[in-house]
Structure 1
């Protein structure tokens, strides 16, 4: 999937799918990209797993230095959009 054609709505859907894949839980209704990932039950370890799923889906590698700063879906979206293609 190309990151250049992503908008907020599409990324939110893909992020929801990735969170569900990793945690087995559905994303709560009303979740937006500005919601804290913690509201989804995503802790630091789960965040790494979700990032791995997204990296595979988008064929990118996120700079590991950015990951500790990722606290919302929007931060994650920005990290994916600026990641190196593989």
Structure 2
């Protein structure tokens, strides 16, 4: 008798950073941040968004970083000791 692992599907705030290349400037990476509520670990909304991007936008995706947080609970907050500004 084998025991199957239980996969919990939980809805969380999901943030994706998409690095992509513009067709006119292929040597430069640009960043796009997209946030939604999604079901982890499958991320169906994010997958649909990325499929739409690949089919309809002429900017090829370089990479995607995903962060998923809890919908409830205490938020972690920390402050920066130093601020840098580029002019």
With structure 1 as the length reference, what TM-score do the two structures score? Answer: 0.27
Q: Which structure is larger by alpha-carbon Rg, 1 or 2?
A: 2
With structure 2 as the length reference, what TM-score do the two structures score? Answer: 0.26
Q: Which has the higher helix share?
A: 1
